[in-house]
Amino acid sequence: MVCLYSIILSKNHLFILRYKGTKELSDSHKYSITREGDKCILIINNATPDDVDEYSIKARNKGGSRMCRCNVNIRCMLKSILKKKLFINLFCIS
């Protein structure tokens, strides 16, 4: 799971959009999108290397718009490789 937090302060009503690359995201089993006051949260559920990309959030109101971006990198290790590494480390210690 990957959590992206944004704090957006505005006195006016905001319209919030979230993107992965150029694709607009919506609430789904893959992406959980919530807003708690000024905090906007995007959760990438069951993140995999396919989720590596630039993520952005765009806030709009009658005064204009602002966008914030970040890059998400995912590193994962197969359990079998992890077991082999653990075995090798234990073998070297003995």
Q: How many domains does the chain have?
A: 1
Distance CA 72, CA 55 (A): 7
The C-alpha angle with vertex 41 and arms to 23 and 45, in degrees rounded to 5, equals 70
No. of helices (H) and no. of strands (E), the chain = 1, 7
pLDDT at 59: 93
pLDDT at 63: 87
Cβ proximity of 51 and 72 under 8 Å: yes
End-to-end CA distance of the chain: 36
Domain with 81, as residue range(s), is 2-93
The tens digit of pLDDT for each residue in 37-69 reads 889 999 999 888 899 999 999 999 988 999 999
Tokens 């069951």 label which residue?
46
CATH number, residue 42 = 2.60.40.10
- Kind of pairing, strands 15-20 and 53-61? antiparallel
Mean pLDDT over each residue of the chain, to the nearest integer: 83
